[in-house]
């Protein structure tokens, strides 16, 4: 597992390949990709630091994947979607395109927890249809087992994707990021 520079300054800690940011930067060395994720954070915690860790850096695009820790800790889908909507609105107000990744599975999730994650993911897809600043990406499908979309295809701990999963996440995120960058290219 990799800890971002937010968790472990100044450059992060752990296996750098265990993050989709690594694979995006490798595929696009011309992009500056900042990992602002914090392991274990809920959507409300991410929202609280959104101004400092995202908007203050003036990116053209932000990837937001949030909610798994909320569900893991017993919060329901409506709580997560409220926080996501708030972050999407903050990004729009700052002129930042949103790539909204779906919640990825974890192997010990109960049926009820999977139902909550599916509800959030359906909401994300609907928001992307409704909001032209949001592009939804099925990061859950990218890391899910072929025979069970509610389990990880590979994982070192049953909670996080393995390196191949993070690479696949980057593969599905890249076209959505590129689309936003093309929309906002300086003229």
CATH number, domain containing residue 80:
3.40.50.1110
| Structure token digits, residue 177 | 């990021």
- Per-residue model confidence (pLDDT) at position 19: 84
* Residues paired with residue 61 on neighbouring β-strands, in sequence order: 97
Q: Is residue 70 part of a domain?
A: yes
pLDDT per residue as tens digits for the range 132-184: 999 999 999 999 999 999 999 999 999 999 999 999 999 999 999 999 888 76
Please give the model's pTM, rounded to 2 decimal places.
0.92
Q: Is residue 26 part of a domain?
A: no
66 band by pLDDT with thresholds 50, 70 and 90: very high
CB 27 within 8 A of CB 173: no
- Per-residue model confidence (pLDDT) at position 168: 97
| Structure token digits, residue 41 | 């954070």
pLDDT per residue as tens digits for the range 85-129: 999 999 999 999 999 999 999 999 999 999 999 999 999 999 999
The runs of H, that is alpha helices, within the chain are 20-27, 43-48, 50-53, 68-72, 77-93, 111-130, 139-143, 163-183
Q: Is residue 111 part of a domain?
A: yes
Q: Is residue 149 part of a domain?
A: yes
- Per-residue model confidence (pLDDT) at position 185: 61
**CA nearest neighbour of 63 among 16, 107, 26, 31:** 31
Residue 44 domain boundaries: 36-183
Whether 5 has a pLDDT exceeding 80, the answer reads no
Q: Map tokens 């992060």 to a residue.
A: 12
Three-class SS state of 99: strand
Q: Is residue 5 part of a domain?
A: no
CB 109 within 8 A of CB 121: no
Structurally, how many domains does the chain consist of?
A: 1
Query: What's the angle, vertex CA 136, arms to CA 130 and CA 139, rounded to 5?
Result: 155
Q: Is residue 146 part of a domain?
A: yes
Q: Is residue 97 part of a domain?
A: yes
Q: Is residue 27 part of a domain?
A: no
* Residues paired with residue 148 on neighbouring β-strands, in sequence order: 145
In whole angstroms, how far apart are CA 161 and each of 54, 104, 168? 24, 8, 10
- Per-residue model confidence (pLDDT) at position 14: 75
């Amino acid at each position: 597992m990799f800890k971002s520079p937010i968790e472990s300054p100044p450059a992060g800690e752990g296996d750098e390949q265990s993050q989709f940011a690594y694979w995006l930067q490798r595929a696009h060395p011309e992009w500056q990709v900042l990992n602002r994720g914090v392991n274990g954070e809920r959507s409300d915690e991410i929202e609280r630091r959104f101004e400092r860790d995202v908007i203050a850096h003036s990116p053209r695009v932000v990837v937001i994947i949030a909610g798994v820790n909320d569900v893991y800790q017993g919060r329901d889908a409506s709580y997560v979607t409220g926080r996501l909507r708030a972050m999407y609105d903050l990004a729009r107000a700052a002129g930042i395109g949103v790539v909204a990744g779906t919640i990825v599975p974890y192997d010990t999730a109960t049926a009820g927890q999977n139902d909550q994650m599916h509800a959030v993911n359906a909401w994300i897809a609907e928001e992307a249809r409704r909001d032209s600043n949001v592009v939804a990406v099925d990061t859950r499908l990218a890391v899910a087992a072929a025979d069970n979309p509610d389990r990880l295809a590979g994982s070192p701990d049953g909670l996080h994707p393995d390196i191949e999963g993070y690479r696949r996440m980057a593969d599905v995120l890249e076209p959505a990021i590129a689309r936003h960058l093309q929309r906002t290219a300086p003229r």
